[in-house]
Structure 1
Amino acid sequence: MMEASREVGVVVRRRSIDNPWIDQVWSPAMILDDVPAAAPWTVLSTDADATTYYAGPASIDLFSSDTANYRDNLADGTPRIWVALRRQHGGAELELTKVTADPTEGEALFESGCEVIGTVPMPPEIAAWIAAFVDQFHVERVFHKRKRDRASGDRPRVPGDRPDEGRR
């Protein structure tokens, strides 16, 4: 299996909201195709109800076994990157846990226990890198429908019919 990896920068936004149960909402804002020299959690901008942070570097990992998923993401017209963050040991701070271009893996993040999960548009430079990977390593897999192996010859199974009982 072939692999490729690329470091990117992740930008997130914290918005204040008027809600009786929570004061703020975090969401991914963008992916930077280069990792900046800034320290993680550097404030990039602040306005009346939102603050934007550079969350830190992350790795996008590609695997040759997943090229069909990457190809589908690119063919969608608006390719996306999935970003997941989680609270650090019950505290207020967030840690960057996953960044992926695989839609299947991205959807699975919603069941992973991460607290902040979202998608951002894929930068054109990263889309070109992924497209080159797909072009180089994608192998179309033919779907083979399996034939069912009948338990008792050609006779279909009947509920209550046990193969270990003899016929009289």
Structure 2
Amino acid sequence: MPLGVVLRRSPGVTRWAKWSWRCVDVLPGAGDADWAELRSEAEVTDFHAATPSLELYADETEAYLHGLTAQVPCLYVVMRETEDEARPFDIVLVTASPYEAQDYADSGEEVIEKIAMPAAIASWVHAFVALHHKEEVFKKRRRDKKDITLVEDGIGDPRIAQMADVYRSPVQAKKERLQ
């Protein structure tokens, strides 16, 4: 599904940052755009920066379900900074998976913006999850049937002859013999 990404440019709050950029909305089914100005009030301007596709994958339905069950279902916009002042960000992707967004956030090279998921997209993602999600059956791990009481591998030190204290170090045994 094509989603138009709307970025808002507003004046920076510090003297070191001239502009503050935020992702404020997504436009479901939007046409192609390349930093088209949507509206401008005072010094605040909204841009339709790009129109990436929201792609869903059947093997990631657990992540989508996790995102849908959040208090506010969200989409994540992954952006990469550029040197161009007219187009300060490249829109890498839009995802409904909080796990995928976390993977991008771990690298520290991208900027991740969290946007509330519009109802139309939420119902589309929910229908996709209902169609493709398969719960994994929990399999309890079973212990080996091996009898571990026969040999005490790795307990104590073979240089200690007596079995009284198998955890005693050889240095302590030598001191005891000298006394």
With normalisation by structure 2, the TM-score equals: 0.74
Structure 1 counterpart of 2:3, one-letter code: V
Q: Which runs of 5+ in 2 are unaligned?
A: 162-179
Aligned-pair CA distance for 1:49: 3.6
* 2:34 aligned with 1:40: yes
C-alpha distance after superposition, 1:14-63 (max 9, x if no partner): 121231322222111111111135x3101111223421100111111111
> Could you tell me how far apart the structure 2 residues matched to 1:126 and 1:21 are?
37
2:107 to 100, 108, 112: 112
Q: Give the total of aligned pairs.
A: 154
Runs (4+) off by over 4 Å: 147-150
2:84 to 88, 91, 111: 91
Structure 1 counterpart of 2:47, one-letter code: Y
Q: Which residue number in structure 2 is paired with residue 161 of structure 1?
A: 154
2:49 to 41, 52, 55: 55
> Could you tell me how far apart the structure 1 residues matched to 2:134 and 2:110 are?
35
C-alpha distance after superposition, 1:108-132 (max 9, x if no partner): 2212344432111111111111111
Q: Which residue number in structure 2 is paired with residue 3 of structure 1?
A: none
> Could you tell me how far apart the structure 2 residues matched to 1:114 and 1:99 are?
16
* 2:111 aligned with 1:121: no
Which is richer in strand? 1
Structure 1 counterpart of 2:67, one-letter code: N
Q: Name the SS of the counterpart of 2:148 in structure 1.
A: coil
Structure 2 counterpart of 1:78, one-letter code: V
Q: Which residue number in structure 2 is paired with residue 28 of structure 1?
A: 23
Aligned-pair CA distance for 1:66: 1.1
State the structure with more CA Rg: 2
Aligned-pair CA distance for 1:144: 2.5
The change in CA–CA distance for 1:34 and 1:114 in structure 2 (over 3 A counts) is farther
Aligned-pair CA distance for 1:69: 1.4
Aligned-pair CA distance for 1:149: 6.0
Q: Which has the higher contact order (CA 8 A, sep 6+)?
A: 1
Are 2:13 and 2:20, in contact at CA under 8 Å, matched by a contact in 1? no
With normalisation by structure 1, the TM-score equals: 0.78
Percentage of identical aligned residues: 31
RMSD: 2.7
Q: Which runs of 5+ in 1 are unaligned?
A: 1-5
Are 2:4 and 2:29, in contact at CA under 8 Å, matched by a contact in 1? yes
Q: Which residue number in structure 1 is paired with residue 59 of structure 2?
A: 65
1:18 to 13, 18, 42: 13
Are 1:26 and 1:116, in contact at CA under 8 Å, matched by a contact in 2? no
The change in CA–CA distance for 1:114 and 1:53 in structure 2 (over 3 A counts) is farther
